[in-house]
A = this chain, B = another copy of it.
Amino acid sequence: MTEKTTELVNDWLERLQANGYRLTEPLRHIVETLVSSPRALGPIEIYDLVRTRYPNLGLVTVYRTLEKLEALGLIQRVHQDDGCHRYLRATQGHQHLLVCTRCGRVVYFAGDDLSPLIQRTEAETGYAIQDHWLQLYGLCPSCRP
């Protein structure tokens, strides 16, 4: 774990504590795993990864921890076609993702401004747009043929 990572882990733990959550063993391990992963992880993946160092972990705790982290905006959900979710550290709130369909590696792409599109669409449809969801899927450089 790099210093950078340790630093981030501490940031997250502070944020959690500041919001009234208790800092526990399982929590720390899950946070560490998420902070240091370059890919989006599913609950079971996190479960398995953490158990190699903390075998007592319960899968339920993973779900509950993910809920907390998402509530604080520390992680972001990645939606998969099959309906399951994976989770990725969110460096700056909600952003647009580019997901590798082969290895799962995720990259943020400069949140190209959707506001013009959104404003135009609001005008055309009469809807009050509250949220949006943009994800691109493709092959990352190392998975390209």
A residues bordering B, Cβ < 8 Å?
79, 83-85, 98, 100-101, 107, 109-110, 112, 117-118, 120-122, 124-141, 144
Q: How far is the CA of A124 from the CA of B134 in the complex (A)?
A: 17
- B98 close to A125 (CB less than 8 A): yes
Q: How many copies does the complex hold?
A: 2
Q: Which residues of B contact A117 (CB under 8 A)?
A: 112
* Residue in B98, B101, B128, B132 whose CB lies within 8 Å of A135: B132
Residues in chain B near residue A132, CB distance under 8 A: 134-137
Contact of A139 among B85, B100, B130 (CB under 8 A): B130
Q: Is B124 in contact with A109, judged by CB distance below 8 angstroms?
A: yes
Contacts of A127 in B (CB 8 A): 98, 100, 107, 136, 138-141
Q: Is the CB of A138 within 8 A of B133?
A: no
Cross-chain contact B141 with A131 (CB below 8 angstroms): no
Please judge, given known A-B contacts A117-B112, A125-B109, whether A133 and B133 are in contact too, CB under 8 Å.
Answer: yes
A98-B121 in contact given A107-B127, A129-B137, A139-B128 (Cβ < 8 Å): yes
- CB pairs A–B below 8 angstroms (21 shown): A79-B83, A83-B85, A98-B127, A100-B127, A107-B125, A109-B124, A110-B121, A112-B117, A118-B136, A125-B141, A126-B140, A127-B138, A127-B141, A128-B138, A128-B139, A128-B144, A130-B137, A131-B137, A132-B135, A133-B133, A133-B134
